[in-house]
Amino acid sequence: MAFQHIEVRPVAGALGAEVFGADLSKPLSNAQADEIHQAFLDNLVLFFRHQQLDPERLVQVASMFGVPNDYPFAKGMEGHPKITPLVKNPEDRANFGGGGFHADTTYLEKVPVATMLYGVEVPPAGGDTLFANMYLAYETLSDGMKAMLEPLFGISSAGAGRLGGRKQVMNAKSKGVQLQNMDKLSMEAEHPVVRVHEQTGRKALFVNYIHTLKFKGWTEAESEPVLQYLFNHLKRPEFTARLKWEAGTLAVWDNLASQHYAINDYDGHRRVMWRVTLEAA
């Protein structure tokens, strides 16, 4: 669509766009907010550069896309519990969001519809985030594969077994994050493998490397070959976009129709991000 109150510039053929003409530090007009929402549905991931946001304003901006919720395994910011600070210090080796393409917290019954991330302090190079379009991942499957997947449900686990176990992974990241609820790593939820997006009506592939353990009614051994095929398929380069962060960059992505992967290639440098995940209103 043609936008009259903002400028939207796609960054890749598959998904992602930069938005210009919106100062998020101030209240937006209804027309701007409506156009940003449409751009979000059209592009799955939006990037806003050169934004000056304090924690209170970040939560207000996030509320344009849904209802801010709590991340189960890390404490929120003091005074702003809906914001999860993600900190990697120069001596740390692990990072949040790394390890594979994924959607956030799919082990919850109520999966976040969107995630927002704000760059506070970024390394001089590295630390980019990759995004992948799950509409395209589904639409490019064969008719036979689609027919097999349509009736299936995926079991998502908080255990992060493919990464060696969430407790081990989280402990490796704990220097910059306050952990909690480590007794809830058995948390699981089931979701359709082919998910119909509530707002667009389009079908998206809804399995991910970090959380999807198996198909409902299948063993892990039976599920793994099909899942591995899908994990490799969904990250094809032509489905992806890449964001180079700057301090003051805000990104928001559709957690139901896209996946993301935080590249861990900036050892020796500090990176500070503020994250908010959002439920449907």
For residue range 203-248, list pLDDT tens digits in order. 999 999 999 999 999 999 999 999 999 999 999 999 999 999 999 9
Q: How confident is the model at residue 274 (pLDDT cuts 50, 70, 90)?
A: very high
| Token pair recorded at residue 161 | 């077994």
Burial 77-89 (b: 16+ CB within 10 A, else e): beebebbbbbbbe
Residue type, 58: L
Pairing of strands 240-243, 17-20: unpaired
235 domain residue, yes or no: yes
- Supply the pLDDT for residue 170: 53
Predicted pLDDT at 174: 45
Whichever domain contains 128, its CATH number is: 3.60.130.10
Backbone angles phi, psi at 135, to 5 degrees: -60, -50
Q: What is the pTM of this model?
A: 0.94
Residue 2 lies in a domain: no
What pLDDT score was predicted for residue 169? 56
Cα–Cα distance for residue pair 246/26, rounded to 1 Å: 20
For residue 19, give both structure tokens.
Answer: 């938005």
Question: How many residues would you count in the chain?
Answer: 281
pLDDT confidence of residue 48: 98
Cα gap 242→253, rounded to integer Å:
13
DSSP annotation string for 178-221: -B--GGGTT-EEEEESEEEPTTT--EEE---TTTEEEETTS-HH
d(CA 250, CA 61): 10
Structure tokens at 207: 């399995």
Domain-located, residue 224: yes
**Sign of the Cα pseudo-torsion (84, 252, 160, 192, in order):** positive
Q: Do residues 131 and 214 lie in contact, with contact meaning Cβ atoms separated by under 8 Å? A: no
Which stretch of DSSP H or E encloses residue 241? Answer: strand 240-243
Half-sphere exposure of 123 (CA within 13 A, CB side): 18
pLDDT tens-digit profile of 156-192? 999 877 777 655 555 544 455 676 666 667 899 999 9
> Which residue segment(s) compose the domain that 159 sits in?
7-279
Number of domains in the chain: 1
The answer to whether residue 264 is domain-embedded is yes
Q: Which own/partner contact pairs does 197-200 have at CB distance under 8 Å and 24+ positions apart?
A: 197/135, 197/254, 197/256, 197/257, 198/113, 198/256, 198/280, 199/41, 200/41, 200/257
| 1: in domain | no
Sign of CA dihedral 29, 15, 210, 266: negative
Q: Classify residue 270: in a domain, yes or no.
A: yes
Give the whole-number percent of the chain exceeding pLDDT 70.
Answer: 92
